[in-house]
Amino acid sequence: MTAPTSAPATARTRHFPDGFVWGAATAAFQIEGATTEDGRGTSIWDTQCTRPGAILDGSDGSRACDHYHRWESDLDLLVDLGLTAYRFSLAWPRIMPEGKGAPNEKGLAFYDRLVDGMLERGITPYATLYHWDLPQALEDKGGWRNRDTALRFADYAAVAHHRLGDRVKSWATLNEPWCSAFLGHASGEHAPGRTEPAEAVVASHHLLLGHGLAAQAIRGGRRPAQVGIVVNLYDVAPASDSPADLDAARRIDGQQNRWFLDPLLRGSYPADIVEDFSTYSDMAFVQDGDLETISTRLDWLGINYYSSFTVRGLDAPKPAVPGARPTAWIGTEDVELVANGLPRTHMGWDVVPSGLTRVLQRVSGDYDAPPIYITENGAAFEDVVVDGEVHDVERAAYIDAHLAACLDAVESGVDLRGYFVWSLLDNFEWAWGYERRFGVVRVEYETQERTVKRSARAYAAIAAENGWA
Ligand code: FCB
């Protein structure tokens, strides 16, 4: 059992600014199930789940939380918790089964019902267009390695916005392009499960290009929209101030954070990382005008924060471990993560609330950043059910401490507008299958029974007070 990370903030009276948004987040593939219903096409994650060894428990998303059929009672959970914002994603293969061409009416109709259901309940929809479920038909043509996918993404964005934009005002293009590019193409842990570093660099550019084109397509529609993107950021600290450790931190921070923040918010890739990547890529795929497109004005920036890293530079690359995945941070075999004794979640991720404050301060200090939302934050712990209840005090403490870290950032001048806990429900946690539980609501997968956990009640109490009374 991991100890709570800090004293509960409840001893203090502190409040978020008026109008702060309190929500919960999910993603289509992780909860919907019904992967062959109503004309949905196959996604790269359906395919990934068929690869031996790709998913820890050998599971897939075919049933997941059966949210496709249970969405009404799932939205009622938000009402029960007093949350008034819901971040969800649209499944591209439901709307365009082959990734392009005529939209699938039944797929669009599902999101119509879902959005109407939110509005009827007083819940504001925050839609994400791409949470990793690329139509397999596009992957078969090269996926994000193929520039054409960026154009197809913009078409899909326009269709989704045309249909839902009368009711959905907030749109995120991509969720965590680092994962799609580097986990998907360098380490192979995520779909499409490839292990070619050069491809990861190409994919990252086409993802960002797709973001920019989609943002422009949405703004080209007649309905006003607030367009953003969601990136996953970490505070990266060197283990010491030795040149090797400082350089290790520069490289990891560069690939993880600056590789996305710089093109989005400054219109250029970080020169030091372009140099680091030169062994793998000459960046010849960057065409004139791409960076202007990528740095199209953002109305908001979503940050997903889970953990932070302390890194050490080694004298020589670590010996390859037979059977182990290659690193997602390409060319960093001579960098290791330092275990510094912090409490960890069931994912093995260090619990570092102060890292969230530093990430927020860094983004708003180093960049001309738009208003920020924490679009995901949460933790997996090994829940136990006792007398039908889940007393997940560690998760409650994690959320409490990270909210306090958010407020520290706000009080230092960061324009943070809202927080979405990851996740509303236990769900399909990608390569970890159903073996990691992030929900503030438990899902009993056999029966699909939902149980509101103690962490949900604790979070709801903070949301109700807009802080700690
Ligand atoms: C993020 C993903 C989300 C979930 C959490 C734990 O990287 O966006 O879908 O898997 O991690």
Q: At what angle do helices 454-465 and 393-411 cross, to 10 degrees?
A: 30
Average pLDDT, the chain: 97
| Helix/strand/coil for 148 | helix
pLDDT at 222: 85
Residue 141 burial by Cβ neighbours in a 10 Å radius (0-12, 13-18, 19+): middle
Torsion-angle region of 99 (φ positive above 0: left; ψ -120 to 50: alpha; else: beta)? left
Calculate what percentage of the chain has a pLDDT beyond 70: 98
How many of the other CB atoms lie within 10 Å of CB of 241?
Answer: 8
Ligand 1 center–CA 430 separation, angstroms: 8
CA distance 445 to 78: 20
For residue 176, give the ligand 1 atom closest to its CA.
8
At 145, the amino acid letter reads: R
Write out the two tokens for 48: 């990934």
Interatomic CA distance for residues 317 and 327, integer angstroms: 12
In short, whether 132's Cβ falls inside 6 Å of ligand 1 is no
**What's the pLDDT tens digit per position in 185-230?**
999 999 999 999 999 999 999 999 999 999 999 999 889 999 999 9
Query: What is the distance of C-alpha 32 from the center of its chain?
Result: 17
Q: What is the pLDDT of residue 121?
A: 99
Beta strands 21-25 and 170-175: pairing type? unpaired
From 32, 176, 394, 429, the catalytic residue:
176
DSSP letters for 306-363: ---EEEEE-SSPPPPPTTPPPPSSTT-TTEEE------B-TT--B--HHHHHHHHHHH
Pocket of ligand 1 contains residue 429 by CB under 6 Å: yes
Whether ligand 1 lies within 6 angstroms of the CB of 68 is answered as no
Please tell me the distance between residue 437's alpha carbon and the centre of ligand 1 in angstroms.
Answer: 11
Contacts of residue 309, Cβ cutoff 8 Å, sequence gap at least 6: 234, 235, 236, 237, 252, 337, 350
Tens digit of each residue's pLDDT (9 = 90 or more) over 1-19? 344 444 454 567 999 999 9
Ligand 1 center to residue 284 CA distance, Å?
Answer: 31
Cβ–Cβ under 8 Å, residues 22 and 418:
yes
Do residues 452 and 441 lie in contact, with contact meaning Cβ atoms separated by under 8 Å?
Answer: yes
Kindly report, residue by residue over 244-271, the tens digit of the pLDDT: 999 999 999 999 999 999 999 999 999 9
Q: In which residue are the tokens 């359906």 written?
A: 46
- Measured CA to CA, the distance from residue 281 to residue 59 in angstroms comes to 35
For residue 443, report the distance from its CA to the centre of ligand 1, in Å: 17
Q: Is the CB of 304 under 6 A from ligand 1?
A: yes
Mutating to test ligand 1, I would choose from 56, 176, 399 the residue with most ligand atoms within 8 A of its C-beta, which is 176
Give how far Cα 384 sits from Cα of 96, 350, 394, 430, 458, Å: 40, 21, 12, 22, 17
What's the distance, Cα to Cα, between the start and end of the chain in Å?
29
Which is catalytic among the residues 189, 376, 394, 429?
A: 376
Determine the residue of 131, 429, 436, 437 to mutate for testing ligand 1's pocket, defined as the one with the most ligand atoms within 8 A of the Cβ atom.
Answer: 429
Q: Is the CB of 176 under 6 A from ligand 1?
A: yes
Residue to mutate, 376, 424, 440, ligand 1, most ligand atoms under 8 Å from C-beta = 376
438 lines ligand 1 (CB under 6 A): yes
* Whether residue 37 lies in the annotated active site: no
Whether 176 sits among the annotated catalytic residues: the reply is yes
**Per-residue pLDDT at 12:** 76
Q: Evaluate whether 123 touches 83 at the Cβ level (below 8 Å).
A: yes
As a whole number of angstroms, the distance between CA 158 and CA 27 comes to 20
Low-confidence ranges of the chain (pLDDT < 50): 1-7, 9
Q: Does ligand 1 have an atom closer than 6 angstroms to the CB of 133?
A: no
Sign of the Cα torsion 246, 251, 256, 260 reads positive
User: Does 175 sit in the ligand 1 pocket, CB within 6 Å?
Assistant: yes
pLDDT of residue 186: 98
